[in-house]
Every structure is written in C-alpha cells, then in structure tokens.
Amino acid sequence: MQHGNNIQGIGMTSARTRDRLVERLKQNGIRSNAVLEQIRNVPRHLFVDEALASRAYEDTALPIGLGQTISQPWVVARMTEALLDGFTGESVLEIGTGCGYQTAVLAPLVRKIYTVERIRELYLKAKQRLRELDIYNVQFRPGDGWEGWPKYAPYDGILVAAAAPEVPQKLLEQLAPGGRLIMPVGPAGRQDLIMVTRDNDHYEQVSLGAVSFVPLVKGK
C-alpha cells in the first residue's frame, strides 16, 4: 500500500470509503482481485473536481467538465476485467483518455498503453496527472478516436471509453489476431458493452450488458 497524502487521503477519501466501494463492486459481480486492488489503490478523488471529491468513491459517473464524465467505477472495473481475462498480450490502445482514471487503473496491469483523447485540455490534464502518480508506461496523443493510432498497431487489446453506433472499422483493423476490443455500442439510452475478439480475419462479438457512455465524436 502506498502512503502519503495523495494516496491515502482523509475523511471521504479514506481507506474505509474505498473498501466500501470495492465491496460494492464485488457484490455487483466484479471477480478480478487485481482489478479490485487497482480500484482500491487509485486515488479517484484526484481525477475529479475538488467540489466533487467527497463523492469520488461512490459507484457513480461524475462530470469532469467539457461535456465529459469520469466513468462509474463498476464500468471501469468491468471493462478492465473483460479486457484482461486470459490476456497474454502487451500493448493496449485506449480511446478516450478523459481524465485518465481508466488509464491509471489499467496501467500497472499491462506493459504499455497508447491513449488517444480528442479534447486537448483533457489530454494535457490527464498527462500531467498520471506523471504526478508516477505512471510512465503510457503514451498520449491528442486525436480522433475513430482513427485509432496506426503507428503502434496492432494492439493486443483496445478499450473504448465512448459509445458509437458500430465498432469503427479502423479499430478492428488495428486489433491483433487473438486480441480483444471492449467498447459500448448503440444510441444513447440503449447502449450495450460488447467484447470483440479477433481470429485472423474473423471477428466474434459478445455482449457484456447495458451501459451508458458519452458519444465517440468524430474529428479532432
């Protein structure tokens, strides 16, 4: 367990508050101990506005400005768990860095993350925040998530933190054979979290349940 003000926090960001969140996630079906430990250890209160810090360890999405949200911890845990279940790869492409919370949860569990964020202000803040938390296996890029990040493809895993009507073709192309892609698909109010696995040029898709995400916007 890391110490210091940043990690331990006081009052509403205390260890007890975090333990309660982890217990709730367990009750709601999250099984991976590695993922639950990350949810416990990552200081979510540092990723939200100070005014909302007292709500940081509730299992709820919170606004982070610019029309974006920090995802509900259960959703972050579910996506991370689904991505890593049987994962033997090294590199993960993350679409939608946002505030960097999902990135911070995933970072110690994989070798390398390449993360893309359309909104420059969020990208710069997330980059600084992860450096302050001594997370160095992440490469950042401002850009259009629909395009992915061809330079470092193929990726063993792709995690998309915004919803689209369908899986962007370019992301499918950047997924390595044997790799898996996790993303929400569908219109607002009827989104489904899906997992796509690639077997050479054949793609298998399964549903992981209903979710609610901001849309994956095209363009920079």
The string of pLDDT tens digits covering residues 134-183 is 999 999 999 999 999 999 999 999 999 999 999 999 999 999 999 999 99
The tokens describing 100, both together, are 């960097």
Size of the chain in residues? 220
Whether 202 shows a pLDDT value over 70: the answer reads: yes
The tokens describing 196, both together, are 């796509």
The whole-number average pLDDT for the span 53-59 is 93
Q: For 182, which DSSP code?
A: E
Domain ranges of the chain: 61-211
pTM here is 0.91
Measured distance CA(17)–CA(32) in Å, rounded: 20
Q: For 71, which DSSP code?
A: P
Of 86, 67, 8, the residue nearest 188 (C-alpha): 67
Return the beta strands (E) in 57-142 as ranges.
62-65, 68-70, 91-95, 112-117, 138-142
The pLDDT value given to residue 161: 93
Tell me the backbone φ, ψ of residue 148, rounded to 5 degrees: 65, -145
C-beta of residue 218 within 8 angstroms of C-beta of residue 196: no
The pLDDT value given to residue 2: 41
Question: 61-211 has which CATH code?
Answer: 3.40.50.150
* pLDDT tier for residue 113 given thresholds of 50, 70 and 90: very high
Adjacent-strand bridge partners of 154: none
Active-site residues, by number, are 71
